[in-house]
Amino acid sequence: MRITRRSAAALCVAAALAAVPLTATVLPSTAAGTDPVTVAARPAEGSTNVRADGRRIVLGDAAATTGSAEIRQRSGIANLDPVRFPAPTSAVVVDYTTGTPDRSTAEVDVRALVKDRWSEWTPAKAGTPTALPGASDLVQLRIIVSAPPQGGSPWVSDVRVQPTDQASPSAMTIQAAPLKSRVFATREGLVGGTTANGHVIVNRDHFVALPSRRGLANNGSGNYSVKVCTTAGTIRCAFEPVWDVGPWNTKDDYWNPSSIREMWKDLPQGRPQAQAAYQTGYNGGKDQFGRTVANPAGIDLADGTFWDALALSNNAWVDVTYLWTGDGGRGTVSISSGYLNVRSTPSSTGAIVGMAGKAAQVPVECQTTGQSVSGSQGTSNVWLRVHTGMYVAKAWISAGTFGAC
């Protein structure tokens, strides 16, 4: 077993709307220059396949998650209670101890609440203070532990966080509009399997997978969601949470600028490594695990997203908008299961032109009046426009008030 002690800071990039957990550890002094605060080893909401053992968070006993034989891992996620500083800070330093039996890994990620939305998760870099995308007085840490299907259980303990002002300005700012790129989409399938966030895949499911944990939402949460639209024929759009990691790579946050991209920093923003490997022989035509890339996929779609929301019959190029990377109005789909139909007019008789999955965030352009509908948010004749010619009933969306269309 390898045991290391790490001191690190976290870069948190652009944001996605999420509710702030009610419990938080509060620092009793000024932000920059305070002593580190110990964060309790207490898995909070959204944690999966981990257990607390004194001051340690340890990988649980669940079986390996979905994926090819080469990369199948037992993995666990522990979200820790947020830490609130007495004043906004521009960067943080994280300190913790890890135990990693052979071929296992353990890391700590961090995010910050900026402009009322949680920023993207980013691994803490050992000993290097890293700027936040904006000044924030609330940060949250997340532990990721993983190991081969057979083997020991990695752990993280003695987690502490400290604000600091010793960091270069952030390389990422929250954009007025979220990033959109055209990527190749494949169907995930794997019904009955378990995703990277602990979700058990059901028939005609609604979620997507992206090849990095930086935008991985908690099971049942849509604080990291995407808009996926077809590019040929009649345009259809799906609004789905990011609940799995893949395809091909697991450290390819290709939606980020090259300066903060975790790997493949010489590729342009918006271009997946698998696409470059397949089309131009980048990295010898192989992914990060040394496998020959057989297609240029940059996103995986669950069956319900693929077949029902987008009406695809084969893998295809799609336009993907990474909603947490920019500003703008948001609403959250408030349904207990399944999906919400997206209509061509503000009426339940309008043609179905897409779907929005449970807990997904939807970008709201404006609101208009239409047919009165009763849903989880009451009875309302307000409809929200989420794309040109696409509407959802506000009766099923947790959201504020928006300007008229």
Residue 405 domain-assigned (yes or no): no
Together in a domain, 154 and 141: yes
Residue 260 domain-assigned (yes or no): yes
Domain boundary among 325, 346, 361: 325
**Residues for the chain: how many in total?**
405
pLDDT in tens, 74-130: 899 999 999 999 999 988 999 999 999 988 999 999 999 988 889 999 888 767 787
Q: Rounded CA gap, 68 and 131, in Å?
A: 36
Domain boundary among 271, 297, 325: 325
Residue 174 domain-assigned (yes or no): no
For residue 44, give the nearest of 72, 18, 6, 65 by alpha carbon.
18
Together in a domain, 76 and 116: yes
Mean pLDDT (the chain, rounded): 88
Residue 320 domain-assigned (yes or no): yes
Maximum C-alpha span of the chain = 63
Domain boundary among 267, 302, 325: 325
Together in a domain, 94 and 149: yes
Q: What is the reported pLDDT for 19?
A: 39
Together in a domain, 309 and 365: no
User: Mean per-residue pLDDT for 281-299?
Assistant: 97
Together in a domain, 229 and 317: yes
Q: What is the reported pLDDT for 131?
A: 75
* Number of domains composing the chain: 3
- Decide if pLDDT at 41 tops 70: yes
pLDDT in tens, 209-254: 999 999 999 999 999 999 999 999 999 999 999 999 999 999 999 9
Contact 245, 209 (CB under 8 A): yes
Residue 157 contacts by C-beta under 8 Å, 6 or more apart in sequence? 41, 54, 55, 56, 57, 96, 97, 98, 99
pLDDT-derived band of residue 264, with 50, 70 and 90 as boundaries?
very high
Between 133 and 137, the more confident residue is 137
The range of the structural domain enclosing residue 46 comes to 2-164
pLDDT-derived band of residue 311, with 50, 70 and 90 as boundaries?
very high
Residue 298 domain-assigned (yes or no): yes
Q: What is the reported pLDDT for 150?
A: 84
Q: Which tokens sit at 398?
A: 């947790």
User: Mean per-residue pLDDT for 47-76?
Assistant: 85
Together in a domain, 57 and 150: yes
Together in a domain, 232 and 345: no
Together in a domain, 309 and 335: no
Residue 169 domain-assigned (yes or no): no
- Decide if pLDDT at 170 tops 90: no
Beta-carbon neighbour count of residue 297 at 10 Å? 24
Strand 105-114 with 180-187, pairing: unpaired
Tell me phi and psi for residue 275, to 5 degrees: -65, -45
Domain holding 373: CATH number?
2.30.30.40
Peptide bond into 247 cis (omega under 30): yes
* Cα 364 to chain centroid, rounded: 19
Contact 64, 121 (CB under 8 A): no
Residue 403 domain-assigned (yes or no): no
Together in a domain, 309 and 349: no
Together in a domain, 314 and 342: no
Beta-carbon neighbour count of residue 216 at 10 Å? 25
Prediction pTM value: 0.90
Q: What is the reported pLDDT for 169?
A: 61
Residue 107 contacts by C-beta under 8 Å, 6 or more apart in sequence? 98, 123, 124, 143, 144, 156
Domain holding 254: CATH number?
2.40.40.10
220 phi-psi bin (left φ>0, alpha ψ -120 to 50, beta other): left
Q: Rounded CA gap, 351 and 333, in Å?
A: 19
Domain holding 61: CATH number?
2.60.120
Residue 96 domain-assigned (yes or no): yes
